[in-house]
């Protein structure tokens, strides 16, 4: 019996030593992260502003040394299809004689509002009752001011007097004197004054330009 214990003890000591050197459990680690697809969004690029295409230029008559109302009148009648230099100069010469391009001028020269005149008024001195009151009615209809160049120009081209000559004024190649005959039907002046001379003067000042 003593011999048995003598043999067993060294064996147990050997086993004890070997067990002590072994790790008790495998190291604990976090489970592997499952593979995932992360969608990347592109950073939006800045929008580059593109300038609108330039309006193509066209040849138009401009008036050298003219004021704002003269140039507005010249542009307005060109937009109506009147392109001839003499025709445009005739229109402008007549308006200069009538009002010197002052839209709020009353017969006699005073500057006043439409409602305070009651006689010849405006760019072509609307004198007769139907033309004078017609201006006021037209301005009310379009929400305009009867004392301004813009409203009066629009009114002029609605009048039957103007409509009767407009197509003839669109025909190019005539003399100032011929266009002046048409203009008489339009304005019906009692006093010719210097309107023809003014027309010749404008004809020299109207030049073609790219606008």
> With the C-alpha atoms ordered 170, 171, 173, 179, is the resulting torsion angle positive or negative?
negative
Segments of the chain with pLDDT less than 70 = 1-48
SS3 of residue 206 by DSSP:
strand
Give Cα separations from 193 to 74, 103, 122, 128, 190 (angstroms).
Answer: 21, 19, 17, 20, 9
CA 53 to chain centre: 13
59-210 CATH fold? Lysozyme (1.10.530)
Whole-angstrom Cα distance, residue 126 to residue 128? 6
Task: List, in sequence order, every residue forming a beta bridge with 105; answer none if it has no partner.
Answer: 111
Query: What was the pLDDT predicted at 11?
Result: 42
Chain position carrying tokens 């103007």: 162
User: Which tokens in the block code for residue 93?
Assistant: 């010469």
According to DSSP, residue 84 is labeled -
pLDDT at site 167: 98
At 85-100, the pLDDT tens digits run: 999 999 999 999 999 9
Residues 6+ apart with CB under 8 A from 173: 84
pLDDT in the model for residue 119: 87
Q: What pLDDT, on a 0 to 100 scale, did the predictor assign at position 27?
A: 53
The confidence score (pLDDT) of residue 58 equals 86
As given in the structure block, the two tokens for residue 155 are 């009114």
Q: Is the dihedral of CA 105, 106, 109, 110 positive or negative?
A: negative
Domain ranges of the chain: 59-210
Q: Tens digit of pLDDT for each residue in 101-131?
A: 999 999 999 999 999 998 899 999 999 999 9
Spell out the SS3 assignment of 141-200.
HHCCCCCCHHHHHHHHCCCHHHHHHHHHHHCCCCCHHHHHHHHHHHHCCCCCCCHHHHHH
């Amino acid at each position: 019996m003593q011999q048995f214990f003598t043999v067993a003890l060294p064996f147990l000591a050997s086993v004890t030593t070997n067990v002590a050197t072994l790790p008790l459990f495998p190291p604990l680690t976090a489970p592997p992260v499952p593979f995932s697809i992360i969608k990347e969004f592109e950073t939006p690029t800045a929008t580059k502003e593109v300038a609108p295409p330039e309006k193509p230029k066209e040849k138009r008559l401009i008036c050298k040394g003219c004021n704002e109302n003269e140039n507005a009148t010249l542009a307005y009648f060109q937009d109506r299809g009147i392109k001839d230099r003499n025709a445009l100069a005739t229109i402008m010469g007549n308006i200069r004689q009538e009002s010197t391009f002052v839209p709020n001028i009353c017969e006699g020269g005073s500057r006043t509002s439409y409602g305070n005149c009651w006689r010849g008024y405006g760019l072509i001195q609307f004198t007769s009752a139907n033309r004078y009151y017609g201006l006021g009615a037209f301005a009310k209809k379009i929400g305009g001011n009867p004392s301004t160049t813009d409203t009066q120009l629009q009114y002029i081209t609605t009048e039957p007097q103007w409509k009767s000559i407009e197509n003839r004024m669109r025909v190019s190649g005539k003399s100032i004197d011929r266009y002046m005959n048409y203009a008489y039907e339009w304005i019906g002046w009692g006093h010719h004054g210097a309107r023809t001379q003014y027309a010749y003067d404008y004809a020299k000042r109207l030049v073609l330009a790219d606008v």
